[in-house]
Amino acid sequence: MDRRVARTRATLQRALIALMLRKGYDAVTVEEICTEADIGRSTFYAHFTSKEDLKRSGLEDQLRGMVQGHPAASGSERDFGFVLPFLEHARDHVDLYRALVGKGGANTTLAMLTRIVSDMVREELAKSPPIAKGPARDMATAFIAGGFVSLVTRWLDDGARLPPERLDVVFRGLVVDGLAHLAEA
């Protein structure tokens, strides 16, 4: 991606987050995003189709970049390596996550998070031969992604008191044990 394009997209994403923190997602308009970013509407629409598209893009960029850059995520010997970096990022950016799921916008954000996590889970399960294909993998993906998003939401609602490392162990223990039972079935 061209550096100017990346810079414009990042500016728009920062503007959306700033506005969401101030007034909530539902109350934000494309016009306000453009004003906050000091970018014209035509430039906005050259990069994004809507504020929803901007939000999705920013969320995906953040999560994928965070996970790919984390040492635990790159090791193939670690099951569900995306979990710990995700949890650490959520803990370190609690205000961002609250803005994403608070004051409206929660349903779209949770759906986006679930879709992004589903992609990461699907990649993880593709490494597991017993459930590499078919309906069992699809069901396991939906179950794991939904469970993870619910767990993270609950954890953040409770103030993220449990250390991310501990929640990572709990989550992976539940999932890995469950997958072992599925492989035996």
DSSP 99-116: HHHSSS-HHHHHHHHHHH
CB 13 within 8 A of CB 61: yes
Angstrom distance (rounded) from CA 132 to CA 79: 15
Question: Residue type at 145?
Answer: A
Dihedrals φ, ψ of 127, to 5°?
-80, -15
Query: Quick one: pLDDT at residue 74?
Result: 47
Q: Is 118 helix (H, G, I), strand (E, B) or coil?
A: helix
Query: Quick one: pLDDT at residue 78?
Result: 56
Query: Quick one: pLDDT at residue 75?
Result: 47
Query: Quick one: pLDDT at residue 185?
Result: 54
Residue 184, pLDDT above cutoff 70: no
pLDDT tens digits, residue range 39-96? 999 999 999 999 989 988 877 777 666 656 555 454 445 578 888 888 888 888 777 7
CB 155 within 8 A of CB 183: no
> What band does 133 get if pLDDT is binned at 50, 70 and 90?
low
Q: Is 24 helix (H, G, I), strand (E, B) or coil?
A: coil
Angstrom distance (rounded) from CA 108 to CA 123: 23
Question: Residue type at 90?
Answer: A
Section 132-155 average pLDDT: 85
* Domain annotation for the chain: domains and CATH numbers: 51-184 (1.10.357)
Query: Quick one: pLDDT at residue 130?
Result: 61
The total number of residues written for the chain in this structure: 185
Angstrom distance (rounded) from CA 66 to CA 13: 16
Section 121-134 average pLDDT: 73
Query: Quick one: pLDDT at residue 165?
Result: 94
